[in-house]
């Protein structure tokens, strides 16, 4: 039931494409930010926060650009600004989680921190997109 509601409201058959775009772009941008800023920002938490924020901003822009060109319903083709604001706030938690995963795994790499920050922040943004577009099912009809 939830899949039907989310699929119908998040762009029909394009619901999976929406989520895949956000996850792939967020992860790739996070890795690139970690690679590019790893020598400049030496504190892992600050690097993760910057990578997570940039990753979800770019993922939102790319998703909006692609979906406005392919979506049939203009109402669901764009991520609302409020979802991006909430995702930016949630990316702080995702970035902190990326640093904790980095410490637990023993891998000390700015690219790894950026990748994980971008991925976790993109997952949180995808969850916020689903929650925003999900509506409760219609009440049962009374006889």
The verdict on residue 104 lying in a domain is yes
Handedness of CA 84, 90, 94, 99 (dihedral sign): positive
Residue 72: domain span: 2-133
pLDDT digits (tens, 9 = 90+) for 96-105: 999 999 989 8
The verdict on residue 140 lying in a domain is no
Q: Give the containing element (helix H, strand E) for 59.
A: helix 44-70
pLDDT digits (tens, 9 = 90+) for 51-89: 999 999 998 888 888 877 765 555 555 667 777 788 888
The verdict on residue 120 lying in a domain is yes
The verdict on residue 95 lying in a domain is yes
The verdict on residue 125 lying in a domain is yes
pLDDT at res. 65:
82
Give how many domains the chain has, as a whole number.
1
């Amino acid at each position: 039931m939830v899949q039907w509601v989310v699929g119908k409201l998040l762009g029909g058959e394009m619901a999976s494409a929406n989520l895949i775009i956000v996850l792939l772009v967020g992860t790739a941008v996070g890795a690139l930010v970690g690679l590019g800023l790893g020598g400049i920002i030496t504190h892992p938490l600050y690097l993760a926060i910057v990578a997570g924020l940039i990753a979800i901003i770019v993922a939102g822009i790319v998703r909006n650009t692609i979906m406005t060109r392919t979506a049939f319903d203009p109402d669901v083709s764009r991520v609302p600004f409020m979802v991006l604001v909430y995702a930016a706030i949630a990316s702080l938690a995702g970035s902190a989680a990326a640093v904790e995963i980095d410490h637990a795994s023993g891998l000390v790499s700015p690219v790894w921190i950026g990748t994980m920050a971008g991925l976790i922040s993109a997952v949180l943004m995808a969850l916020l997109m689903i929650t925003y577009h999900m509506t409760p099912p219609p009440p049962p009809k009374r006889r």
